[in-house]
Amino acid sequence: MFVSGPPTILHADLDAFFASVEQRDDGRLLGLPVIVGGGVVLACSYEAKARGVRSGMGGRKARELCPDAIVVSPHFEAYVEASREVAAIFKRTAPVVERVSIDEAYLDVRGLEAICGTAALRRTVRGEVGLPISVGVASTKALAKIASGLAKPDGLLVVAPEEELAFLHPLPVERLWGVGPATARRLHAAGLKTVGDIARTGEEALMALLGPHGGRHFHAVAHNRVVRPVVTGRRRRSIGSQRALGMPGKRPDELDPVLAGLADRVTRRMRRAGHAGRTVVLRLRFDDFTRATRSRTLPRPTCATARVLATLRALLADARPVIASRTLTLVGVTVTNLETAFGQLVLPLHGADGAALDAALDEIRDRYGTHAVTRAALLDSRDTLATFLAPGE
């Protein structure tokens, strides 16, 4: 029989993050309904939430619900900076910190006095960064995340080990991370409304309902048996960029500048981060919100703009039949199968000279699209080369 451990995992989540930063930076917004973003609500203050505004909602709908809302455009640099400051506080608080997005993180608080450590954490974030943050503490990540959600806004919820199942089981299935509209529909169709309902269902039946992986996973979650550790520094697996096309939808032959812009943006970011990738994915979305993707895996990783662009053009040609009768509304590119450029690049150069060096130089230019690298720089040292290609952060 499984026995829960002590509450050692803390989930910290900044409240209405973008909107809170805007309110902090412009005192006139305090206490008012604030919407960040124009066409779509990126974030909204609790005053706007009270009126039914939600993030992801269309801007028109949001203004209908809340005509007196103040709409501000996002200031991403400010969000990134605030996120960094908060992360620094996390690192002072706990040895192991897992940042899951710009506004949330898990902390392994084993060995800390969970409750007073947590109170201090929230006070520090408020005092030093000027932002409200909610915290949940439990023995597992899944439960800590639910707890922080229920603690919002600006709250704290610690779930004692002996209360975990009693806390978890009455919740609607939608509270579980990974249960979205489609999974909720399937569960409801089978008469499962609460997490307790899932827990009382056999694993076999759940696997039949949600597939082998989903069934096993949610069965374990419902018994609070998923004990994934807090891990620091996960490496990124893909990097992408997309652009909504203005109405009316563009014809395929008008897309080339868009592809070029995407290839440029994404490869620039890859080079700055020291990444190269082997698989290029072209993403398309149509006016009826259906989607299509085309992908190509290259023999070698690249972050060269020209190579990615050429691949995108070929993929677009592949997709012509799919596009033919429909109206495109969005084009995107994702590069996956990432590797870090750094190690791959430097290794083959070791001890190279003459023809081997020229070959390496060609390879680098081809793979990484860098024209800043010279023969002299290559000869110079590993470190010099690193300055051209090392991760920006």
151-190 residues near DNA, rule: CB under 7 A:
176-184
Q: What is the rounded distance in angstroms from the CA atom of residue 74 to the CA atom of residue 233?
A: 27
Q: Does 87 bind DNA (CB under 7 A)?
A: no
Q: What is the rounded distance in angstroms from the CA atom of residue 71 to the CA atom of residue 59?
A: 9
Q: Does 220 bind DNA (CB under 7 A)?
A: no
CB of 238 to DNA, least distance (A): 3
340 vs 384 by CB, closer to DNA: 340
Amino acid, res. 55:
S
CB of 86 to DNA, least distance (A): 13
What x-and-dash track marks residues 222-251 binding DNA by CB under 7 A?
Answer: --------------xxxxxxxxx-------
Q: What is the rounded distance in angstroms from the CA atom of residue 288 to the CA atom of residue 294?
A: 19
- DSSP states of 312-329: HHHHHHHHHHHHTTS-EE
Residue from 130, 172, 214, 249 that binds DNA (CB under 7 A)? 214
Confirm if 335 and 238 have CB atoms less than 8 A apart: yes
What x-and-dash track marks residues 105-144 binding DNA by CB under 7 A?
Answer: ----------------------------------------
Residue from 27, 28, 60, 189 that binds DNA (CB under 7 A)? 60
359-388 residues near DNA, rule: CB under 7 A:
none
Residue from 279, 327, 344, 384 that binds DNA (CB under 7 A)? 279
Q: Does 208 bind DNA (CB under 7 A)?
A: no
Sign of CA dihedral 160, 161, 163, 167: positive
Query: How wide is the angle at C-alpha 348 spanned by C-alphas 342 and 349, nearest 5°?
Result: 90
CB of 292 to DNA, least distance (A): 4
Q: What is the rounded distance in angstroms from the CA atom of residue 60 to the CA atom of residue 75?
A: 21
Sign of CA dihedral 304, 305, 309, 312: positive
Residue 185 CB partners (closer than 8 Å, separation 6+) = none
Q: Does 40 bind DNA (CB under 7 A)?
A: yes
CB of 47 to DNA, least distance (A): 18
Q: Does 260 bind DNA (CB under 7 A)?
A: no
CB of 300 to DNA, least distance (A): 10
Long-range contacts of 94-98 (CB under 8 A, 24+ apart): 94/10, 96/230, 96/231, 96/232, 97/230, 97/232, 98/230, 98/231, 98/232, 98/234
Q: Does 103 bind DNA (CB under 7 A)?
A: yes
24 vs 243 by CB, closer to DNA: 243
Residues in the chain: 393
Amino acid, res. 343:
G
Q: Does 297 bind DNA (CB under 7 A)?
A: yes
Helix-then-strand count for the chain, H and E? 16, 12
317-346 residues near DNA, rule: CB under 7 A:
318, 322, 329-330, 332, 334, 336-337
61 vs 193 by CB, closer to DNA: 61
Which residues form the catalytic set? 104
Summarize as ranges the residues that interact with DNA (CB under 7 A).
39-40, 42, 54-61, 100-104, 145, 176-184, 211-214, 236-244, 265, 269, 278-279, 289-297, 318, 322, 329-330, 332, 334, 336-337
